[in-house]
């Protein structure tokens, strides 16, 4: 069982930056991919980006590519989502998720149902 705890959400103005973190309570995350999803009111949960602990790198949704960066600290079992040039349409609850089978598949998976552990989410609000 892996517990994920997000932190760092808040209210920012458009054009500014924000970093959110996700700490995982696991002895090892080898073979896992960890991802960020987001869900705005009335919308489906969407993939934002992910990082692989199996050496597959990172992958981003087109909507955030070039503005958002995911990094990881292996020693702390923590990933970060650095969000730059934020837009009002980035407003959502941001969820951290872990896919324990990513290493077996050999790539980063993108669908929410493929992730077996989830955090409770952190609210990010971007004002115009």
Q: Per-residue pLDDT averaged across 70-98, rounded?
A: 96
pLDDT category of residue 104 using cuts at 50, 70 and 90? confident
Q: What is the pLDDT of residues 6-53, one digit of tens each?
A: 999 999 999 999 999 999 998 778 889 999 999 999 999 999 999 998
Distances (CA, A) of 12 to 9, 18, 86: 9, 8, 8
Q: Where does residue 52 rank: exposed (0-12), middle (13-18), buried (19+ CB within 10 A)? A: buried
Q: Above pLDDT 70, what percent of the chain? A: 100
**CA dihedral of residues 87, 99, 26, 19 (deg, nearest 10):** -10
- Is pLDDT at 105 greater than 90 in this prediction? no
DSSP class of residue 103 equals H
pLDDT category of residue 94 using cuts at 50, 70 and 90? very high
Of 30-34, 78-82, 87-91, the range with the lowest mean pLDDT is 30-34
- At residue 55's C-alpha, the angle toward residues 52 and 56, to 5°, is 65
Residues 6+ apart with CB under 8 A from 107: 56
**What element of type H or E holds 107?**
none
Q: Record the tokens describing residue 92, joined without a space.
A: 């959502």
Q: What is the pLDDT of residues 63-77, one digit of tens each?
A: 999 999 999 998 899
Q: Record the tokens describing residue 66, joined without a space.
A: 């070039």
Q: Per-residue pLDDT averaged across 52-62, rounded?
A: 91
């Amino acid at each position: 069982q892996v517990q994920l705890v997000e932190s760092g959400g808040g209210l920012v103005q458009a054009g500014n930056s924000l970093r959110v973190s996700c700490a995982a309570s696991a002895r090892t995350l080898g073979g896992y991919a960890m991802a960020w999803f987001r869900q705005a009111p009335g919308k489906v949960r969407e993939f934002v980006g992910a990082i692989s602990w199996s050496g597959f790198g990172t992958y981003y949704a087109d909507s955030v590519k070039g503005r958002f960066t995911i990094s990881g600290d292996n020693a702390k079992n923590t990933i970060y989502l650095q969000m730059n040039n934020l837009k009002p349409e980035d407003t959502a609850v941001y969820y951290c998720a872990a896919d324990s089978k990513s290493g077996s598949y050999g790539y980063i998976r993108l669908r929410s149902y493929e992730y077996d552990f989830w955090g409770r989410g952190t609210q990010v609000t971007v004002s115009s």
